[in-house]
Amino acid sequence: MKRLLKKPLFTAKEASKAGLSRRMLAYYCTRGIFHRIGRGVYRASDFDSQAPVDLEDLALTASSISKGVVCLISALFFYDLTDQMMREYWIAIPNKNRAVKRAHVRIIRMRNITLGQTEVNIGEYKVRIFDRERTIIDAFRYLSIEIAIKALKAYFSHARLYKPDLRKLERYARVFKIDISPYILSFTT
């Protein structure tokens, strides 16, 4: 059980392997030792996270969803490409997976979930997230044109922090059949 107290989160299956029955796990939750995050996912109530305060809940939520990838508004927020407030966490899952129900989470089903997927560390959490270029293309696909154009503008204006990858952006646009070349031209000329 001591090993579970040190983990950022664990599943009921891992607790069972550590010798905790479901009944004992429920008992520890009522006593306040563990906190239930979602169905079958738990964490120690007094776990001290090293993640930044504004990203801790996102990291916890994203890492607790099987095959979940941070996308759209949440990814734009993470990369500082939007002025939108993150009122809920946007998580992409494979199209064939069943959507999980969590408070303050918007599940987006996507067919191609591997293209542009990367992994980042937020504190002690390993979080899957789409890269900047995929996030911008998805903004054109799923969000308003205003949000997408602002994200693209921010992408090019942050050039001192990272080098914009036009080839990758155009390749993703071709894969998803999105024509963003007029917008790219307006920001690069």
Contact 117, 128 (CB under 8 A): yes
Average pLDDT over residues 56-83: 92
pTM for this one? 0.81
110-169: per-residue pLDDT in tens?
999 999 999 999 988 899 999 999 999 999 999 999 999 999 999 999 877 888 999 999
pLDDT at 160: 78
Distance of CA 114 to the CA centre of its chain: 13
pLDDT at 136: 97
* Whether 92 and 111 share a structural domain: yes
pLDDT at 161: 82
* Whether 65 and 36 share a structural domain: no
Residue 109: pLDDT above 90?
yes
Residue 102: pLDDT above 90?
no
* Whether 106 and 71 share a structural domain: yes
* Whether 15 and 66 share a structural domain: no
Residue 94: pLDDT above 90?
yes
* Whether 58 and 122 share a structural domain: yes
* Whether 141 and 61 share a structural domain: yes
pLDDT at 144: 95
Side chain identity at residue 89, one-letter code? Y
* Whether 113 and 62 share a structural domain: yes
Residue 138: give the domain boundaries. 53-188
Query: What Rg, from alpha-carbon coordinates, does the chain have?
Result: 19
Higher pLDDT, 47 or 67: 67
Number of domains in the chain: 2
3 state SS of 99: coil
* Whether 15 and 87 share a structural domain: no
Residue 52: pLDDT above 80?
no
Residue 105: pLDDT above 90?
yes
pLDDT at 29: 87
* Whether 94 and 170 share a structural domain: yes
* Whether 98 and 180 share a structural domain: yes
* Whether 166 and 86 share a structural domain: yes
pLDDT at 101: 83
Contact 16, 26 (CB under 8 A): no
DSSP state letter for 73: H
Please give the helix or strand (H or E) that residue 36 lies within, else none.
strand 34-38
* Whether 122 and 77 share a structural domain: yes
What distance in Å separates the CA atoms of residue 106 and residue 40, rounded to the nearest whole number? 19
